[in-house]
Amino acid sequence: MDIKANLQAVKKSFINPNCKLIAVSKTKPIEALKEAYEAGIRDFGENKVQEIQWKQLEMPEDTKWHMIGHLQSNKVKYIASFIHLIHGVDSFKLLKEINKQGNKADRVISVLLQIHISEEESKFGFDHAELDEMIADPEFLALTHVKIIGLMGMATFTDNQDQVRKEFRGLKGLFEALKSKTLPDFVQLEEISMGMSGDYLIAQEEGSTMVRIGSSIFGAR
């Protein structure tokens, strides 16, 4: 596996060269992460708290850790001191816990709200009604140690590109709609995290600012 060559090929294929690349290194050995680091990657995506904890100890200080998977509230405390961005915030309960642990760690933790855009039942995320309900809640307005910098979504796992495009377009539409609302200062919507190895080009065409790419860089899992 030539990680450096894969990275170059992926970047070269970008439709938007300014789109940020998160190298998804879940399940991969530390040597693979170091190879990507040496090729210039600083942003790594992991989906398990335990794995991100031990890998963090093995990698250089300036590595930026992205929690991209489903995060249980009771595990936030293990990553609060160092996590760079939590992509999958899918409930108000989780957001409040991140706020609490951010407070304890004396940090403001950046997060993305995960929106349910796929047809699949299993994929986590807010629907529109849940999102509206949360942002109208007085407890939401009182958050102090989180910064919501954007939205994240995962398209349906399908070969139907029109459907994937439609779902990404829906997320971008929601992002714009949300941006036009009056929101508290800790909501600064700038990022749309959408696109993986199989659909990142469509995602970029539809306005992605951040893609999470694993297998095209590190090989199949």
**Which residues of the shown chain bind ligand PLP in the complex (CB under 6 A)?**
24, 26, 47, 68-69, 154, 196-198, 212-216
User: Minimum Å distance from CB 71 to ligand PLP?
Assistant: 11
Name the residue nearer to ligand PLP (CB basis): 28 or 96: 28
CB contact at 8 A, 175 and 151:
yes
Q: For residue 13, what are its two tokens?
A: 């294929």
User: Minimum Å distance from CB 146 to ligand PLP?
Assistant: 20
User: Minimum Å distance from CB 193 to ligand PLP?
Assistant: 8
Name the residue nearer to ligand PLP (CB basis): 170 or 198: 198
User: Minimum Å distance from CB 132 to ligand PLP?
Assistant: 24
User: Minimum Å distance from CB 169 to ligand PLP?
Assistant: 19
CB contact at 8 A, 86 and 94:
no
Q: Distances from the Cα of 204 to the Cαs of 20, 38, 66, 120, 189, in angstroms?
A: 10, 26, 19, 22, 17
Name the residue nearer to ligand PLP (CB basis): 102 or 195: 195
Query: From CA 124, how far away is CA 181, in angstroms rounded?
Result: 24
DSSP per residue, 71-129? --GGGGGGTTTT-SEEEEE--HHHHHHHHHHHHHTT-PEEEEEEE--SS-SSS--B-HH
Name the residue nearer to ligand PLP (CB basis): 168 or 186: 168
Residue with the two structure tokens 């036009």: 180
Name the residue nearer to ligand PLP (CB basis): 67 or 146: 67
